[in-house]
Chain A
Amino acid sequence: AQKVTQAQTEISVVEKEDVTLDCVYETRDTTYYLFWYKQPPSGELVFLIRRNSFDEQNEISGRYSWNFQKSTSSFNFTITASQVVDSAVYFCALSGAAGNKLTFGGGTRVLVKP
């Protein structure tokens, strides 16, 4: 069975501070995919980033960056120079190779204060 754990339930920062969200996952699959989604108050989940299990290269995309480490089963996500519009709930998710079946973590609520 797959499992995703986001230990942080809520993070509060002041605008322009960096925010790092932790995610730890469990899976027996050798091929799997990791995602980060953002859920603003409007309700829909917005795709942010994806990483497959064979690619541990960490990247930066605009103000977003991620740190994928298979050795510790972690997929952490950082927002650099946070803005008020970044306030939302962020979900880490995991899927296997077969089918669109996402297993989500419990989410981390990020509050960015001006």
Chain B
Amino acid sequence: KAGVTQTPRYLIKTRGQQVTLSCSPISGHRSVSWYQQTPGQGLQFLFEYFSETQRNKGNFPGRFSGRQFSNSRSEMNVSTLELGDSALYLCASSLVPGGEAEAFFGQGTRLTVV
């Protein structure tokens, strides 16, 4: 079956702009989580959605937001981009929302802010 699909794969934006990243989970998976990966901070949890509701949120400013649609697809938005937002953004989907769930990751969207 198809894996987690993230679009676009690469993105270059200018400081101050906003960006929307998309994630399509594995069919049947209803839990979607987002992570930011940078060389300095490593992998950091952004937020988790299940059944269109945000269940958990990481320690990121309000410029980072997300949502989940009824078909479980998820988007995350970053407004007023800063140079430090340059990162690999990874989406993961799980069958169930519990902590024991195996998370399947997409290949990520590499965002470069110039």
B103 touches A99 (CB 8 A): no
How far, in angstroms, from A28 to B87 measured CA to CA in the complex? Answer: 30
Q: Which residue of A lies closest to B94 (CB)?
A: A100
A103 at the interface (CB under 8 A from B): yes
Mostly helix, strand, loop or mixed at chain B's interface? strand
B102 touches A47 (CB 8 A): yes
Residue tally, chain A, CB below 8 Å to B = 27
B84 at the interface (CB under 8 A from A): no
Among A32, A45, A95, A101, point to the contact of B105 (Cβ < 8 A): A45
Interface residues of B in 99-113 (CB under 8 A from A): 99-108, 110
A101 touches B98 (CB 8 A): no
A50 at the interface (CB under 8 A from B): yes
What residues on B are CB-neighbors of A46 within 8 Å?
A: 105
B92 at the interface (CB under 8 A from A): yes
How far, in angstroms, from A31 to B98 measured CA to CA in the complex? Answer: 11
How far, in angstroms, from A99 to B103 measured CA to CA in the complex? Answer: 11
The number of chain B residues touching the other chain, given as a range, is 20 to 34
Interface residues of B in 77-98 (CB under 8 A from A): 88, 90, 92, 94, 97-98
What residues on A are CB-neighbors of B98 within 8 Å?
A: 97-100
A99 touches B48 (CB 8 A): yes
What residues on B are CB-neighbors of A103 within 8 Å?
A: 45
Nearest Cβ distance between residue A109 and chain B, in whole angstroms? 12
A100 touches B107 (CB 8 A): no
How far, in angstroms, from A47 to B3 measured CA to CA in the complex? Answer: 13
B97 touches A44 (CB 8 A): no
